[in-house]
Amino acid sequence: MQAPASPYGDLEEVLQRAATADKTVIMTQINLAWTKPGSLLDLFFESFRLGEGGVSRLLDHLVIVTMDPAAYEQCQVVHRHCYFLRTTGVDYRSEKMFMSKDYLEMMWGRNKFQQTIVELGYNFLFTDVDVMWFRDPFRHISMGADIAISSDVFIGDPYSLGNFPNGGFLFVRSNNKTIEFYKSWQQGRWRFFGKHEQDVFNLIKHEQQAKLDIAIQFLDTTYISGFCQLSKDLNKICTLHANCCVGLGAKMHDLRGVLDVWRNYTAAPPDERRSGKFQWKLPGICIH
């Protein structure tokens, strides 16, 4: 007798192909607006290619989750591991404005999909496509962390719940604690109606940590950085997120500037790089 078809289509097959030996995948999510030549997806790939310490090999473990058929087709042209997440009720082809109804629908859909990944037994590192990858970030994720999340504002202690989280760069280890956390996170959508998933994470982190004894690590912005709290040390930075920045045009402008500086930095001799003379071009539209 044939096994019933999965509601997630070929997801398990894609995850199996992309996963590391310890069942970890890297994931990003895109729509058509971000896949056009010269758009965010191109910059994202370019950062891996310009990166150091073999960061480009991590692309072998990247699953690109596409939100519309045209983005899926485009993905297949440029990458091995593509998955089309079928959703209803929202046209995902165009850019969604921050906090619009469609934006909230998209973010909560993404959150539900992440829950499915951990329920299937895979660890994941989710990255927004406007995160530039320069060095391997996994070495900054603690082996003891159930969840490691980037920070809009990092206050110095990685285990303090006083840090301000950003779900655009998020590692989750698949275990019973994280599966329960995601169930509560999804329920929070209705408990705190109209809030996006990052706000709800902030609202439930205290009660969930106490209830589940879950280890939440907030990532240091020296290494896992963003426009909100910019790391100025190019010798230490691993990833850079165009957060605190609204609109595709503004993100593209500033990230192109970031890649220009990084390109010059990596081409320079080691002593020049160590001297600290390389700095981001400031201010940009958002970066400052």
Per-residue pLDDT of the chain (288 residues; tens, 9 = 90+): 444 456 677 999 999 999 999 999 999 999 888 888 888 999 999 999 999 999 999 999 999 999 889 999 999 999 999 999 987 655 555 555 544 667 677 777 889 999 999 999 999 999 999 999 999 999 999 999 999 999 999 999 999 999 999 999 999 999 999 999 999 999 988 898 878 888 898 899 999 999 999 999 999 999 999 999 999 999 999 999 999 999 889 999 999 999 999 999 999 999 999 998 899 999 999 999
Short-list 223, 246, 242, 240, CA closest to 154: 223
> Which stretches does DSSP call E strand in 76-162?
82-84, 123-127, 131-133, 147-153
Q: What is the DSSP letter of 97?
A: P
Task: Dig out the tokens for 193 from the structure.
Answer: 């109606």
Q: What pLDDT shows up at residue 99?
A: 46
**How far is the C-alpha of 203 from the C-alpha of 56, rounded, in Å?**
36
pLDDT of residue 5: 55
Structure tokens at 169: 């760069």
Dihedral, CA of residue 268, residue 272, residue 277 and residue 282, to nearest 10? 10
Which 8-state DSSP code applies to residue 22? T
Cα separation, 23 vs 40, in Å, equals 27
Q: Where are the alpha helices (DSSP H) in 120-196?
A: 176-191
Confidence at residue 88, expressed as pLDDT on a 0 to 100 scale = 63
Which pLDDT score is estimated for 52? 95
Contact 23, 122 (CB under 8 A): yes
- The CA distance from 20 to 59, in Å, is 11
Domains with residue ranges and CATH for the chain: 10-218 (3.90.550)
The confidence score (pLDDT) of residue 89 equals 58
User: What is residue 257's predicted lDDT score, i.e. its pLDDT?
Assistant: 97
Cα separation, 84 vs 129, in Å, equals 16
